[in-house]
Amino acid sequence: MTTEAQEMTNPSTQASRPRLHAEDIAHVVHPYSNLAAHDERGPTLIVRGEGCYIHDDSGKRYLEGMSGLWCAALGFSEPRLVEAAIRQLRTLPYYHLFNHRSHPPGIELAARLAALAPANLNHVLFANSGSEANDAAVKLVWYYNNALGRPEKKKIISRRNAYHGVTVAAGSLTGIGRIHADFDLPIARVLHADCPSYHHFREPGEREAEFARRLVDNLEALILEEGPETIAAFIAEPVMGAGGIIVPPAGYFAGVQAVLEKYDVLLIADEVICGFGRTGQCFGSDTYGLRPDLMSVAKALSSAYQPISALIVSDAIHAAMQEESRKLGAFAHGLTYAAHPVAAAVALETLDIYEERDIFAHVRQIAPEFLGRLAALKTHPLVADVRGVGLLAGVEIATDKTKTAITPEATALGAWVQNRACARGLILRAIGPVLALCPPLIIETAQIDEILAILQGTLDEALVHARENRWL
């Protein structure tokens, strides 16, 4: 622990606390925060973490039920990852991949990712975040179709409630209104198909298989309406994360892939959240039998200890990239820090730990306990649905369990539960009325006990709060 972190977790000193809080308010722009309210509220200052827990500057400990932002898969302060970074910093602290240059960590990581990825995905374009990887996917899809002499085949279909990032192209792929509002998004040539949430969008009496078939038929109708010659790609998270933990209905992806193949439409799998064990398999694509042409990964690639992402592309797309490069003289795309050697070294060590500790098997072993105990909350008067896969789950609350539409009261109650759970020592994320949980993959039964105890107590408090506000 650094001297300042030790000072801040010592209740008798904390000399730096007022200064840091004041400087945060004065200078830091906080993503996904109410900037107008931040001057009064100020930050929750996190200074230390170990295992599944983090500590704030007052010394309070929290169980990190969201792995930070869906990403700290191995928890906090894993010494092997720290040492991997130090070793690389001492050897080659930075270099790039431009103009035919390379370095061992970048080469080794690309080979490891190609070996792990689904068949025919053998070529790796590195970046720093999931947004950048998905942004690059858009560019490569357009580049690919230009190489094939199909300049009109450029539209990309995403889905309502999907989350693919916040850069101009990735933010357009995202299907969440507040991410578009007043940013002049989405850009042209981006379409949004149905959200595959059976809980919210099924028709009266419609069975899950019928719902899946209807969505697949709607996708085909959209392609035909726009013209198959204009549709280039379809992008999907195997499980929707920030859109509310939406698990695909049975048969959905099989039907989608059949439609995409019928009309020569590429599949982009966004594995930024699902990748590296979150669903119990290496990728969500493995869990749901996807055969992507491009696949974006980030977050758990380095267990979030270093910023790194990658877009893994098929042999066919790479061959077209080579042809365009031959024609134009270079592949004119790249980022200064792509495959940064320190980030790549940490990612390699992360992959080693996943393999040596059999982390994915641990997820498969403990997930039934995690999901099963959460499912028992469905008897609570406020819980309308519980859904998930692996160590990714959503508990949806409602003030009227007979209705599937999301109400302002349920959304307000979700925010209330998030804040109250935090006060009790559990960090979860309210996505509207959905309480999202995405704990580190190293979680054990003791931490599951803690999550359930805090969540049950918080929901009981929320029930009183809802009745006091006459929301029930």
pLDDT (0 to 100) of residue 13:
39
Long-range CB contacts (within 8 A, 24+) of 351-358: 351/109, 351/112, 351/116, 351/276, 352/80, 353/74, 353/78, 353/80, 353/81, 354/276, 354/277
Give yes or no for residue 472 having a pLDDT over 90: no
Give yes or no for residue 353 having a pLDDT over 90: yes
The chain-wide mean pLDDT, for the chain, equals 96
pLDDT (0 to 100) of residue 6:
53
Q: Where is average pLDDT lowest: 17-21, 77-81, 336-340?
A: 17-21
Beta bridge partners of 124: 312
Greatest distance between any 2 Cα atoms in the chain = 69
Give yes or no for residue 397 having a pLDDT over 50: yes
Q: Where is average pLDDT lowest: 11-20, 342-351, 462-471?
A: 11-20
pLDDT (0 to 100) of residue 16:
86
DSSP 246: B
Give yes or no for residue 8 having a pLDDT over 80: no
pLDDT (0 to 100) of residue 7:
47
pLDDT (0 to 100) of residue 2:
52
DSSP 3-state assignment of 272?
A: coil
Mean pLDDT of 464-472: 93
Structure confidence by residue, pLDDT tens digits, 319-330: 999 999 999 999
All structural domains of the chain, each given as residue ranges with its CATH number in brackets, are 44-77+358-468 (3.90.1150.10), 81-356 (3.40.640.10)
Q: Which of 201, 193, 192 is nearest to 249 (CA)?
A: 201
Alpha carbons 24 and 122: distance in angstroms, whole number: 43
Structure confidence by residue, pLDDT tens digits, 178-228: 999 999 999 999 999 999 999 999 999 999 999 999 999 999 999 999 999
Structure confidence by residue, pLDDT tens digits, 102-130: 999 999 999 999 999 999 999 999 999 99
Q: Where is average pLDDT lowest: 8-17, 167-176, 255-264, 429-438?
A: 8-17
Alpha helices per DSSP H over 162-311 = 168-173, 177-180, 198-201, 208-226, 252-262, 284-288
The fraction of the chain above a pLDDT of 70, given in percent, is: 97
pLDDT (0 to 100) of residue 11:
46
DSSP 3-state assignment of 341?
A: helix
Structure confidence by residue, pLDDT tens digits, 129-186: 999 999 999 999 999 999 999 999 999 999 999 999 999 999 999 999 999 999 999 9
Alpha carbons 145 and 153: distance in angstroms, whole number: 6
Threshold 0.85, pTM exceeds: yes
Give yes or no for residue 61 having a pLDDT over 80: yes
pLDDT (0 to 100) of residue 22:
94
Give yes or no for residue 59 having a pLDDT over 60: yes
Structure confidence by residue, pLDDT tens digits, 399-425: 998 889 999 999 999 999 999 999 999
Alpha carbons 199 and 191: distance in angstroms, whole number: 23
Neighbours of 258 (CB within 10 A): 11
Mean pLDDT of 256-269: 98
> Is the bond preceding 31 in cis, omega lying within 30 degrees of 0?
no
Alpha carbons 340 and 129: distance in angstroms, whole number: 12
Q: Counting Cβ atoms within 10 Å, is residue 24 exposed (0-12), middle (13-18) or buried (19+)? A: middle
Mean pLDDT of 281-294: 98
Give yes or no for residue 12 having a pLDDT over 80: no
Sequence-ordered list of residues with C-beta below 8 angstroms from that of 244, at least 6 positions apart, any chain: 161, 197, 394, 396, 431, 432, 434, 436
